[in-house]
A and B are shown apart, each in its own frame.
Chain A
Amino acid sequence: MTQFVIFIVFLGCGFIFGQMAEKKHYKSIIEREQQTNHLPVIASKFPPESGSYHQQLIAGSVVVASDYFKSFTAGLINIFGGHVTPYESLLDRGRREAILRMKHEAQQINADYVFNIKLETTRIATGRLGAIEVLAYGTALIPHQNASEQQDAQQNALQA
């Protein structure tokens, strides 16, 4: 009986807080995506031929956890098969958040572009924990006029 009550409480908490957190997260993601839209993120390993840029490896990562309600529903879906919809949105949020964090780093170093973006998703296993880590990384291209000091440093480093 006690077990059952605990289960219902967990499920309720998972549903209410989990759904709230997801809505809030999506809202923030969409807002920030619009704010950073002017910075192109390109999945190509060939940098623009014109212009002179300094390169820097940048990354953004996030670990997002599933909630009790999502895990429970996913367990049920596992019996019948089909779209595991609770995890679809979790992964979607994780990827977009990781890209946004990477873009944030790019903006801080005044990059014009991020090239050759790679995304990587890993399940973080701690017992029954359902959490994933998403890593987004790429090469930021910083125009020379913005990074003349860094450029000098790089030249020095190469000559040394």
Chain B
Amino acid sequence: MRYENRQSPEGINVTKVNPFAQFLKLLAMAAIFVVLLVIVLQFFGGALAKRIPFKYEVQLMDNLDISLSEVEPSAEIVLYLNELAARLASEIPLSEDKQVYVHYNDESVFNAFATIGGNLLFYRGLLEKMPSENALAMVMAHEIAHINHRDPISGLGGGVASMIALSMVTGDTGFAGSLLTQAGTVTVTQFTRGMETAADTAALGAVYRLYGHVNGASSLFEIMGDVQSDNKSVPDWLERFAATHPLSNDRVEAVANTAQRNGWSTEGELTPLPDAFLDWLNIN
């Protein structure tokens, strides 16, 4: 018996590829796949969620029993906010099967939002900065429009569907997975920005019908733009692409354009907030 080692040629067990080209191709394929997946699921998940009757939404919120305002708010501010909401709801007009209720929270957060069950929440931080009732009405009408469009429930439906699908796709892929999840999240924000723009347009109409002009409607966006530009960390183009809301400056412009297109007057007398407004805000 003779024993010898014959050297086998290189590369039979290893597929020859250009690693960088392969990487770029895979990244592009994965990104397209995730974006398409999220678009489809946002669309169908959102559309399906909108078919849930509004009264189930209300029931769900009641069952969850989430307290939106931690401290007992002052009765006057809640009364005033709800009275303004009622006036705007009839101008939007809010469809008859839905209703809204405004909550007030005594925290310095500069925000307001609409959630499922027709619940709106306004923070003291936002209300303190209000220059006029017109500005407040614009924000309020914007949130009511979200309720009218069923945006909270459809965002929840589409969001849950796409997040589950994303975690299934990217579950076992380590670093690549977290990056693709980011891509999916950015895709979701394209949908939420569409909702924001639609709500702005509907809100402006309601403000016009209530006051006869749209003066002051965009003043809060101007304030927001100033606050944001003071502590800016990302360039405009990136924020335009990745943020959940349109840029404040873009919203100011959009308001002006919508007004011009519809022939709504931007001149008119501002309605001041009630004299005791700031006193109502401070509970103590």
Contact = CB atoms under 8 A, between A and B. Distances in A.
Interface stretch (B2-10, B42-50, B188-196): B2-10
B14 A72 contact: no
B169 A79 contact: yes
B30 A76 contact: yes
Given A73-B26, A80-B29, A86-B19, A40 B3 contact: yes
Given A19-B19, A69-B19, A71-B175, A41 B26 contact: no
Interface string B1-42: 101110100100111010110110011011001000000000
A147 to B, nearest CB: 19
Nearest to B16: A85
Contact of A77 (B26, B170, B177, B234): B26
Interface string A88-108: 110010000000000000000
Interface residues of B, number: 30
B174 interface: yes
Nearest to A112: B3
Contacts of A33: 7
Nearest to A83: B15
Contacts of B1: 48-50
Contacts of A128: 174-175
Counting chain A CB atoms within 10 Å of each CB, which of B30, B33, B176 scores highest?
B176
B179 interface: yes
B233 interface: yes
A48 B3 contact: yes
Contacts of B3: 40, 42, 48, 113
A92 B13 contact: yes
A37 B169 CA distance: 47
Interface of B: 1, 3-5, 7, 10, 13-15, 17, 19-20, 22-23, 26-27, 29-30, 33, 169-170, 172-177, 179, 233-234
- List of 6 A-B pairs having minimum Cβ-Cβ separation, nearest first: A75-B176, A75-B173, A76-B26, A40-B3, A75-B174, A85-B15
19 contacts: A1-B233, A7-B179, A34-B7, A37-B5, A40-B3, A42-B3, A48-B3, A49-B1, A71-B174, A72-B23, A72-B174, A73-B26, A75-B176, A76-B23, A78-B173, A79-B173, A80-B26, A80-B30, A92-B14
Interface of A: 1, 7, 15, 19, 30, 33-34, 37-42, 48-50, 68-69, 71-73, 75-80, 83, 85-86, 88-89, 92, 113, 128
